[in-house]
Amino acid sequence: MSLFTFLKAEPTAEEEEQGTDFSASRLFQSADLHNISNGGVSWTSPASWGEKLGNAGRFIAVSALSGVNSFYNTGAVIGQFFNPGIQERDTADWITSLDSNLGEYYRINQDAADVTGFILGAVIPGLGGIKIFNAGQVALKTAIDTGRIGGGMGKALGLLLPRTQALYGSESHMSLALKEVTASTTTLNLLNANTTRAIASGLGQNTLEAAAFETMVYATMFRSPILQEQDGWDIAKNIATGALLGGTVSGIFGAAKLRGALKTAINH
């Protein structure tokens, strides 16, 4: 029976005898049947609610284990340069060796678990990549300022040092824009030269940090089921795309923050 036929059918004798709101009852039943077919959960069966929660726990577990195994296999591939005997391990077999029920659940939901595990696992190395990049920027700025790196190389490497507050403090474009607004005795347009430079610096810094995030993820998780089929061109293209997208999104928030700071300075 189709859903349309089910909804249009005449009420049963039992429904008429009980005085049931027939249309509402049939709509509820059809919605419940839809839930059961999609996820095995019925609104009228509390036992299925607990089973669904249990499945959520299993899904989180196998996703986390998939992410962990991505790190292991990446390390195994690198380790093979020093010890050819090191072998990668199959994710499904490894999870099964830990718990057979989890292994079976992983095999059924492998694609979703691998994607979720990759996303969860990428956070730690990605943020670590940004921290390392920021530390490198500070060291590079110190080397340029003290003259240890100068000339054309100093100017070229200086492109990796956008004039942000984190690197230049009171000499950053944002600080100069705030000083210009604060010191002025006339009404200023929010979009002045220093404001434009501050937005560009923020966009540049966010793009570089997004590239550092993407690079570290690829460096530590390239044997993830999500990444292992990609070639060099795919990797370069995805890092560039991630950097531009991350830089743009973060740059929008940075511009909004700058605008708020300038408006506050003007009002005071």
DSSP 93-155: HHHHHH-HHHHHHHHHTHHHHHHHHHHHHHHHHHHHHHHHHHHHHHHHHHHHHTTSS-HHHHH
Residue with tokens 């069966």: 45
Question: What confidence tens digit (pLDDT) does each residue in 229-263 have?
Answer: 899 899 999 999 999 999 999 888 888 888 887 77
pLDDT of 40: 54
| Residue 40 DSSP class | S
Neighbours of 127 (CB within 10 A): 14
Residue at 82 is within a domain: no
Q: Which amino acid is at 126?
A: G
pLDDT at 193: 78
Average pLDDT, the chain: 81
Per-residue model confidence (pLDDT) at position 268: 63
Q: Is residue 257 part of a domain?
A: yes
Tell me the pLDDT tens digit for each residue of 133-170.
999 999 999 998 888 887 788 778 877 888 888 888 88
Q: What is the pLDDT of residues 46-71, one digit of tens each?
A: 545 445 556 788 899 999 999 999 99
What integer pLDDT is reported at residue 12 of this predicted model?
55
pTM of full prediction above 0.75 = no
Asked if residue 157 is part of any domain, the answer here is: yes
Asked if residue 58 belongs to a domain, the reply is no
214 located within any domain: yes
> Which domain does 211 fall in, by range?
121-267
pLDDT at 45: 54
The number of domains in the chain is 1
> Does the residue 198 lie in any domain?
yes
pLDDT the model gives residue 146? 87
